[in-house]
Structure 1
Amino acid sequence: MTEYHVVPSGNQWRLQKAGGSVVSNHRKKQPAVSAGQKKTSSGDTLVIHGSDGAVQDRRNY
């Protein structure tokens, strides 16, 4: 089970694994969320943060 996070990073959005390893960087939030959905598999979790860093949504797959 892997946990992925979509987080703000300066003026970009980052998809990263829990623990900090960066998977990808994106100019906008929605492409980062889409990349996270493609990366997850059964048992994984995608945590989506807002521009303030607070958790907005948690999706279990």
Structure 2
Amino acid sequence: MISPGPGNGHWVRTRTEEDRAAFLTEKRAEQERMVRPGVGAVVILVVAVCLLVAWLLWAMF
């Protein structure tokens, strides 16, 4: 449903309880995705650690 805003000529979307629940669910999922590292980040981290170990071994000998 679309209803006019408070006298300023703008239109505001009226949210239902289902819209609110879906929004909150998506917001929580988005926050979880921001905290957990993705597959690409893990691969880059593993490659960086392997390169660091190889460099340290090369420097020792």
Normalising by structure 2, what TM-score? 0.23
Greater percentage in helix: 2
Which structure has more relative contact order (CA 8 Å, sep 6+)? It is 1
Greater percentage in strand: 1
Q: Tell me which structure has the larger Cα radius of gyration.
A: 2
